[in-house]
């Protein structure tokens, strides 16, 4: 066990994977000599050399298309997209190629690439360094989507992703890269996909969140507790596969649900989760499900704290669901 | 190269020239190439007919491209990887993918190696490293770069070949792929089959460059333009770039000039956009007739040989079609296979058909 930040835990996970398996390699913009603009790949090139820690030219479709070709040949590339906002030049490679290779070849060509990308707002990044667009990828069959919220999960989920056999989108909450700190197990530590984490147990309502929304959700739960409202906070950890059983069980217990994400509301992940709860836990619900999300606008610069859900908005939604039933 | 009259352009070689260009096995190589070209042509003709009868859903012929495909198949080695586009299934056959398996794919049956997941002419043949093709133009170009990179890391002796058309040279991945390959100096050959059309768009409107090959110079290496209907020139070009690639030359771009001798696909009507003399010009460059005429002239192919090749091709195509038409479609449950390594969820009730 060592105490570290979330971004350090990503770095430890990459070191561990590269040590374990010579087929693992890292590629992306500024990931080598510079160690990544957030330092997630710091030191890797010194340890493993420029053959396995590749500074690429500036082309996202080039990075992901190349990673796909490496994976088809049998390597295990971990590609970094510098900000999730810049992934769109590679969107075609991700949704048309990476996600579909195994299926379209009848299983002849599995294509296991891990794509890491810092995502989300709260860092004064404006329109193009703040977005949270996980839903695009969740909507594409063939991609797994993991989003850690703690240092231990960052390392554990990343190692699971690298040892998985399917493509994984690994989105890192850059707002809490350095503020989320905690103990992280040494060595080969893995957190399974599809298992939500109960951050806090509760009786009266369930708050579902992931990534950088876990701290405000926990803060809201603490404030509600002072008024005798017991909120359960569930960190989904992986959106694909989704731990539906945990979500349904929590709502069967509490009867109320608030779904939180910083992505825009319309067709966001909260819409899917709300629909699943409506289909599978309807008769346990005592109040309508509420969503606390970013707004259906582009991500703003000056007004980012208006856009982003915070503890106060989550608390208000929780009190609203408590009014009914 | 253009002969508007439509009279055939003979291959301008003596047998001595040919030995000099493609080596001491030239006679056997060219006879074998002829046999494969006849098979490709026979398959194209038969499948286009079946498509019109509604017995297969779609077909993208490669008529006019045969010399490029056959030469690629004959010049590459087992350890090389092929990243094809729509018109390269014949490369897989020459490299050893069985014709009956490919025809199962064309009929999208339960025995299609890719389980009926894709439109016809999108095969996947991993046993000969013929990578599953995408309909998305150009995306395979960067995949070849990644595979070449992996080969170098693993110290393998293979070469990755990306095949694409003239239209694809305008796509994002053409630029990204050629650039990455140049920067990293990889063993990759970019094979552009310039058939002068991207559906209805003539190549002059695809790019303002004089030759597509010269685009390589923007990435730090040189490209060559080769008559892709002259099998001798094509074999010579492949042999050279593959040898140089194995010796560490870095990437190559070859532009093969060919003539698309059919509509773009079974869904196209080229009379809307092609000049009236196109077919005559194309026939003058028919790679199969050019080779056949030359082989006959120099005495390397007689009438009995010719009839034998034609008969074997039509029988093998006929038998493969009969077998595929007698094979059932994939089972409905197979829809849920291969989305992930293990299914994340399968609907409780799988629909019946
Ligand atoms: C990205 C993309 N855009 C459009 C299409 C539709 N389309 C299919 S083939 C084609 C033309 C391709 O021309 P070229 O690259 O020259 O190859 P050819 O068909 O001539 O062999 C087009 C526009 C496509 N499949 N993919
Ligand atoms: Mg073309």
Confidence bin at B1 (pLDDT 50/70/90)? very low
**What secondary structure does DSSP assign to B56-98, as a single string?**
SS-----TT-HHHHHHHHHHS-TT-EEE--TT-HHHHHHTT--
The torsion angles phi and psi of A262, rounded to 5 degrees, stand at: -85, -15
- Using the mean position of ligand 1's atoms as its centre, give its distance from the Cα of residue B166 in Å: 9
Residue of A nearest to B178 (CA): A62
CA quadruple A79, A83, A86, A91: dihedral, nearest 10: 50
Q: How far apart are CA B167 and CA B179, in angstroms?
A: 18
- Cα angle for residues B71, B141, B145 (degrees, 5° grid): 95
CA distance A284 to A278: 9
- CA atoms of B189 and B210, how far apart (whole Å): 21
The β-bridge partners of B191 are: B163, B254
Task: Write out the DSSP string of B274-335.
Answer: S-TTHHHHHHHT-HHHHHHHHHHHTTS--HHHHHHHHHHHHHHHHHHHHHHHTSPPPPGGGG
B178 HSE (CA, 13 A, CB side): 28
Round to whole Å and give the CA distance between B67 and A320: 72
**CA–CA separation, B274 vs B56, rounded Å?**
26
Q: Is the CB of B135 under 6 A from ligand 1?
A: yes
pLDDT at position A325, please?
A: 72
Q: For domain A197-323, is the CATH number 3.10.129.10?
A: no
For a pocket test of ligand 1, which of B63, B137, B261 has the largest count of ligand atoms closer than 8 A to its C-beta?
Answer: B137
Please list, in sequence order, all residues whose beta carbon lies within 8 angstroms of the beta carbon of residue A2, skipping any fewer than 6 positions away: A183, A184, A186
Average pLDDT over residues A35-60: 98
pLDDT at A178: 98
Q: CA of A202, closest CA in chain B: separation in Å?
A: 29
Residue A324 binned pLDDT confidence (cut-offs 50, 70, 90): confident
**How many residues belong to chain B?**
353
Q: What is the mean pLDDT of chain B?
A: 96
Tell me the per-residue pLDDT of A232-258, one tens digit each, with 9 for 90 and over. Answer: 999 999 999 999 999 999 999 999 999
- A191: phi > 0 → left, psi -120 to 50 → alpha, else beta; which? beta
Closest CB to B126 among A71, A108, A164: A108
What are the start-end ranges of the H helices in chain B? 15-22, 26-52, 66-75, 89-94, 99-106, 140-153, 172-184, 231-246, 278-284, 287-297, 303-325
Residues 6 or more apart whose Cβ sits within 8 Å of residue B186: B145, B148, B149, B152, B160, B180, B250, B251
Contact present, B16 and B76 (Cβ < 8 Å): no
- CA–CA separation, B148 vs B140, rounded Å? 12
What amino acid positions of B are annotated as catalytic residues?
A: 260, 264, 273
Q: Domain ranges in chain B? A: 15-328
Q: What is the pLDDT of residues B2-14, one digit of tens each?
A: 445 679 999 999 9
Percent of chain A that is helix, strand, coil (3-state, to 5): 40, 20, 40
Mean pLDDT of B86-103: 98
The yes-or-no verdict on residue B315 having pLDDT over 90 is: yes
- CB-based contact B228:B289 (threshold 8 Å): no
| Spacing, Cα B192 to ligand 2 middle (Å) | 9
Any atom of ligand 1 within 6 Å of the Cβ of B199: yes
Average pLDDT over residues A141-146: 98
Q: State how far the Cα of A118 lies from the Cα of A131, in Å rounded to an integer.
A: 10
Interchain contact, B126 vs A97, CB within 8 Å: no
Q: Does domain B15-328 sit in CATH 3.40.50.970?
A: yes
Residue B118: closest CA among A96, A11, A192, A150 = A96
Shortest Cα distance from A133 to chain B (angstroms)? 22
Cα torsion A311, A314, A317, A318: sign? negative
Fold type of domain A2-184: Rossmann fold (3.40.50)
Q: Which residue intervals of B187-270 are DSSP H helices?
A: 231-246
Whether residue A78 contacts residue A49, with contact meaning beta carbons closer than 8 Å, is answered with no
Which helix or strand (DSSP H or E) is residue A100 part of?
none
Report DSSP letters for A34-54, one per residue. Answer: T--TTSTTTTHHHHH-TTTEE
In chain A, where the domains are located: 2-184, 197-323
Angstrom distance (rounded) from CA B256 to CA B67 = 10
> What dihedral do alpha carbons B35, B79, B234, B25 form, nearest 10°?
-60
Helix B140-153 and helix B172-184: axis angle, to 10°? Answer: 20
* Pocket of ligand 1 contains residue B87 by CB under 6 Å: yes
Percentage of chain B modeled with pLDDT above 70: 97
Mean pLDDT of B227-244: 98
Q: Dihedrals φ, ψ of B198, to 5°?
A: -120, 95
Question: Can you tell me which atom of ligand 1 is nearest the CA of B169?
Answer: 15
Q: Whose CA is nearest to atom 20 of ligand 1?
A: B198
Q: Residue B157: which residues within 8 A CB-CB, separation 6 or more?
A: B79, B151, B246
Query: Could you tell me the distance, in angstroms and rounded to a whole number, from the CA of residue A14 to the centre of ligand 1?
Result: 39
- Ligand 1 nearest-atom number relative to CA A92: 1
Taking CB atoms and an 8 Å limit, are B139 and A93 in contact across chains?
Answer: yes
Could you say which of A51, A57, A166 has the minimum Cβ distance to residue B179? A57
Q: Look at residues B219, B143, B142 and name the one whose alpha carbon lies nearest to residue A109.
A: B143
Q: What is the pLDDT of residue B345?
A: 80
Query: Which residue in the set B113, B142, B151 is minimally distant from A106, CB to CB?
Result: B113
Taking an 8 Å cut-off on Cβ atoms, the answer to whether A59 and B115 are in contact is: no
Which of A66, A89, A142 has the CB atom closest to B149's CB atom? A66
The owner of tokens 């970013």 is A294
Strand order in the sheet with B188-194: B81-83, B160-165, B188-194, B252-257, B223-227
In this complex, is the C-beta atom of A97 within 8 Å of any C-beta atom belonging to chain B? yes
Q: What average pLDDT does range B193-198 have in this prediction?
A: 98
Asked, colleague to colleague, whether A2-184 and A197-323 share their fold, the answer is yes
Q: Which residue of A lies nearest to B81 if distances are taken between CA atoms? A: A73
């Amino acid at each position: 066990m060592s105490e570290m930040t979330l971004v350090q835990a990503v770095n430890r996970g990459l070191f561990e994977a590269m040590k374990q398996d010579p087929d693992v390699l890292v590629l992306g913009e500024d990931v080598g000599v510079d160690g990544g603009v957030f330092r997630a790949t710091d030191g890797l090139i010194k340890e493993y050399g420029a053959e396995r820690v590749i500074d690429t030219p500036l082309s996202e479709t080039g990075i992901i298309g190349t990673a796909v070709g490496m994976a088809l040949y049998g390597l295990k590339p971990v590609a970094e997209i510098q900000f999730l906002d810049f992934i769109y030049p590679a969107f075609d490679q991700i949704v048309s190629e990476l996600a579909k290779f195994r299926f379209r070849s009848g299983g002849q060509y599995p294509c296991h690439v891990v794509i890491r990308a810092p995502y989300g707002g709260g860092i004064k990044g404006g329109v193009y360094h703040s977005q949270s667009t996980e839903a695009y990828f969740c909507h594409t069959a063939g991609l797994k989507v993991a989003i850690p919220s703690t240092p231990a999960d960052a390392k554990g989920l990343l190692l699971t992703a690298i040892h998985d056999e399917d493509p994984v989108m690994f989105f890192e909450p850059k707002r809490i890269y350095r503020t989320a700190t905690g103990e992280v197990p040494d060595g080969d530590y893995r957190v399974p996909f599809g298992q939500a984490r109960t951050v806090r147990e509760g009786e009266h309502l369930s708050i579902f969140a992931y990534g950088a929304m876990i701290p405000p959700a926990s803060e809201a739960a603490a404030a509600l507790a002072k008024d005798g409202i017991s909120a359960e906070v569930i960190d989904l950890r992986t959106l694909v596969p989704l731990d539906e059983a945990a979500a349904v069980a929590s709502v069967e217990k509490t009867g109320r649900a608030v779904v939180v994400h910083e992505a825009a509301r319309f067709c966001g992940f909260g819409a899917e989760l709300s629909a699943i709860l409506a289909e599978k836990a309807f008769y346990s619900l005592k109040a309508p499900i509420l969503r606390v999300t970013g707004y259906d606008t582009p991500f703003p610069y000056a007004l980012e704290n208006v856009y982003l859900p915070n503890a106060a908005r989550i608390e208000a939604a929780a009190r609203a669901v408590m009014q009914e039933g | 190269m253009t002969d508007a009259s439509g009279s055939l352009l003979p291959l301008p070689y003596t047998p001595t020239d040919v030995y000099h260009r493609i080596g001491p096995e030239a006679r056997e190589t060219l006879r074998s190439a002829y046999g494969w070209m006849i098979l490709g042509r026979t398959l194209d003709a038969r499948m286009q007919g079946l498509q019109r009868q509604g017995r297969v859903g779609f077909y993208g012929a490669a008529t006019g491209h045969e010399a490029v495909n056959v030469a690629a198949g004959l010049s590459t080695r087992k350890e090389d990887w092929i990243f094809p586009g729509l018109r390269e299934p014949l490369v897989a056959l020459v490299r050893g993918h069985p014709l009956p398996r490919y025809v199962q794919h064309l009929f999208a049956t339960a025995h299609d190696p890719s389980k009926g997941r894709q439109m016809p002419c999108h095969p996947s043949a991993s046993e000969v490293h013929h990578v599953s093709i995408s309909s998305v133009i150009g995306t395979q170009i960067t995949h070849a770069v990644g595979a070449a990179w992996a080969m170098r890391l693993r110290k393998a002796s293979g070469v990755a070949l990306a095949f694409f058309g003239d239209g694809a040279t305008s796509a994002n991945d053409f630029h990204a792929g050629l650039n990455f390959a140049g920067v990293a100096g990889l063993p990759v050959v970019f094979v552009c089959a310039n058939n002068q059309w991207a559906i209805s768009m003539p190549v002059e409107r695809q790019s303002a460059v004089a030759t597509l090959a010269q685009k390589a110079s923007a990435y730090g290496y040189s490209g060559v333009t080769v008559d892709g209907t002259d099998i001798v020139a094509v074999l010579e070009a492949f042999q050279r770039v593959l040898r140089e690639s194995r010796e560490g030359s870095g990437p190559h771009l070859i532009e093969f000039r060919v003539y698309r001798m059919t509509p773009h696909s079974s869904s196209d009507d080229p009379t809307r956009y092609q000049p009236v003399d196109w077919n005559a010009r194309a026939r003058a460059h028919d790679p199969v007739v050019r080779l056949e005429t030359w082989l006959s002239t120099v005495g390397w192919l007689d009438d009995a040989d010719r009839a034998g090749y034609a008969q074997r091709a039509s029988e093998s195509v006929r038998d493969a079609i009969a077998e595929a038409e007698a094979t059932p479609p994939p089972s409905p449950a197979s829809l849920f296979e291969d989305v992930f390594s293990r299914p994340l969820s399968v609907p409780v009730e799988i629909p019946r058909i």
